[in-house]
Amino acid sequence: MLSCPSCTNKAIPEEYRKIAEDLFPPNGYAKGESPSLKKIQDFAEILGLGPDYKRFLEAPESPPNSGPNLGQNLEGLLLSFQNNLDLLIQKTWVEKADEGRKDDLSDQIPEFIAKIEQGNYSKALEEFGAILEELAWLFFGAQSQKDDFTEYTFRIDTQIGLFWWYGNQLCSKQAQEWIKEADKGILKAILLLGISYLTNF
């Protein structure tokens, strides 16, 4: 997912731009700063997540050996995410030459989920950025590698555009700087934005 940040932000509808740029400022955060939970929750609202995001955010950590309890704990919610993402990957039509990419992406998901369950959210965010890049390729093909990819997704649908804008921001150099130092709760909240969206996609 490549994009010119200032061009991409101009593609965000005016009524959503302030909330989006409050979450990911065009010039990044000052050293030692990161987004607030309020900014993340405001973005979840315009992304159309509402109660689903809140359910993910408030899900308790799963006690050891408790097993997945769908909708009740983080492990169950992550299982729902994995199941839906696997369905999305397998149902996506690609050229025969790209079929292996689908399998490779599916193989990355369990390791990604393990990082979340271990509480290693900074590493999980790094891996999530790579997962989103590959998912964008499966959904949109070579278009996902063009400079105007995020603008293209806004022309499809505003919330789809906001989601891929979020994914593009996660991969940015500015985000990588504050991700290294941010509080675990903030990193988890940012990560759950994308997980919530894809669970309900």
Sequential DSSP letters for 145-157:
GSTBHHHHHHHH-
**138 or 94, which is more confident:** 138
Distance CA(154)–CA(163), nearest Å, equals: 9
Tens of pLDDT, residue by residue over 165-199, are: 999 998 888 888 888 888 999 999 999 999 999 99
At 22, list the tokens.
């409050």
At 7, list the tokens.
């061009």
pLDDT of residue 114: 93
- Residue count of the chain: 201
Mark residue 164 as left, alpha or beta (left: phi above 0; alpha: psi -120 to 50; beta: remaining).
alpha
Share of the chain above pLDDT 70, in %: 91
pTM for this prediction: 0.87
Helix (H) and strand (E) counts in the chain = 11, 0
pLDDT of residue 70: 45
The confidence band for 43, taking pLDDT boundaries of 50, 70 and 90, is very high
